[in-house]
Amino acid sequence: MEENVGRRDRIVRALAGPLMMVFGYYRMDGRRGKRGGLATMIAGAMVVESAVTRTCPLNALLGIDTREKKTFSRRHGPALLARLKK
């Protein structure tokens, strides 16, 4: 699978995933919230996994790519192109 998670997206996922896992753990305390807590913990783990691997199956399914596009600036572009041609 191709990378489709950008830097900012990875940071948000790396922070939100563990928070979801902790929230799910505390929600599992009561009998009523057992399934919901487990589902939240699993979802949090999947969010962390997508931050680590830089791939998100849902983004791929929806055609979303949050990586920053590489652009040449006017200032550095010509010098970089000259170095690449050598």
Alpha helices by DSSP H, the chain: 7-27, 34-53, 57-62, 77-85
Residue whose C-alpha is closest to residue 10's, from 69, 64, 67, 82: 67
This prediction has a pTM of 0.72
Query: Token pair 């010098």 is at which residue?
Result: 79
pLDDT for 71: 61
Residue with the bigger pLDDT between 40 and 79: it is 40
Give dist(CA 66, CA 82) in Å, integer.
29
Confidence of residue 82 (pLDDT cuts 50, 70, 90): low
pLDDT digits (tens, 9 = 90+) for 26-78: 988 866 778 899 999 999 999 999 999 999 999 899 998 999 876 655 555 66
pLDDT for 34: 87
